[in-house]
Amino acid sequence: MKRFFGFVCILMLATYFLQAGTSPAPPSGQPSGTSKPLEMNNPIPILKAQIDQVVPLYDDCQLIFDVIGKFFGTNTQGTRQVRLVSATKTYIPQVTAWTATKITCRLQGEFELGRRYKAGIWTTATNTLVSNELVWQVKTQIKGPANGYQPGTNYTFSGCLLGSAQGARQVMVGNTPAQVTLWCCEDIIIKVPNLPAGVYNLYLKEGVFTLSNIIQLTIL
């Protein structure tokens, strides 16, 4: 009899330990042996580069400009670039300095001035825009002497991104197109128009586009 009760006790203990080590049944509809994936109700957003402004810094025949903003990264591998995109052309300026908040770029040679460009940051690996696009109207900065000039004399002034040929571009003195005798990448020479004495606005124009700032020409 004692052996019988001892055997029963051992059997009951074995049953208890087997039940304690058994995993609970999975919820209905979930396969056994798998865990429920962690739900991400608030995923971490990817920060997009933000362009706040474009600041031109003219330097003789080249246009240097700063792209100001945030989240630009360091671009140590050269995998990103600044692009200027208009309705007809895309320019990729040379980057001379790149920080997290400022990118310094340089444009040289002939350029379609007066147009509105969308300045943006692109990744070269996937050709993808990784920033907002800021609209910037690109103009040249012209500079000239403040002396008075007689009609028919030469007047020389300078600018940048002018290219080597005048093309359809005009030098306006007031509302009068001036005769151009020399046009190169950084200097333009005109014949002073035969206009009454006075101070006139001088600027560059191509069709409906104003290509430059305005300077003053005094005709004697």
Question: How many domains are there within the chain?
Answer: 2
Residues 61 and 111 in one domain: yes
- The answer to whether position 42 is within a domain reads no
Q: How much is the pLDDT for 59? A: 76
pLDDT at residue 108 in the model: 76
String of DSSP letters for 160-192? SS--S--TT-EEEETTEEPEEEEE-SSEEEEEP
CATH number, domain containing residue 201: 2.60.40.10
Is 128 within the bounds of a domain?
yes
| Residue 102 is assigned to a structural domain of this protein | yes
Is residue 11 domain-resident? no
Q: Is 10 helix (H, G, I), strand (E, B) or coil?
A: helix
Q: Give residue 75's domain range.
A: 50-137
CA distance 19 to 12: 11
> Does 7 fall in a domain?
no
* Residue owning tokens 């100001």: 68
- Final residue of a structural domain among 137, 163, 178: 137
Shared-domain flag, residues 63 and 122 = yes
For CA atoms 80, 81, 82, 88, give the dihedral sign: negative
Is residue 177 one of the residues assigned to a domain? yes
Residue 33 lies in a domain: no
95 occurs within a structural domain = yes
With beta carbons less than 8 A apart as the criterion, state whether 180 and 190 touch: yes
Pair (115, 61) in one structural domain: yes
Q: How many CB atoms lie within 10 A of CB 53?
A: 11
> Do 163 and 207 reside in the same domain of the chain?
yes
Judge whether 128 and 122 are in contact, CB under 8 Å: yes
**Residue 104 in contact with residue 82, Cβ under 8 Å?**
no
Answer yes or no: do 158 and 189 share one domain. Answer: yes
pLDDT per residue, tens digit, the chain (220 aa), is 445 444 445 555 445 544 545 445 545 555 555 555 444 455 444 568 999 999 998 876 788 999 999 999 887 668 899 999 999 899 999 999 999 999 999 987 778 899 999 999 999 889 999 999 999 999 999 999 989 999 999 999 998 888 888 999 999 999 999 999 999 878 999 999 999 999 999 999 999 999 999 999 999 9
pTM higher than 0.75, yes or no?
no
Q: Is 93 exposed, middle or buried (0-12, 13-18, 19+ CB in 10 A)?
A: buried
- Residues 164, 196, single domain; the answer is yes
- Strand residues in the chain grouped as ranges (E): 50-59, 62-70, 80-85, 90-91, 94-98, 102-107, 116-123, 128-129, 134-137, 148-149, 154-158, 170-173, 176-177, 179-183, 187-191, 198-206, 209-210, 215-219
3-state secondary structure (DSSP) of residue 144: coil
The pLDDT of residue 58: 82
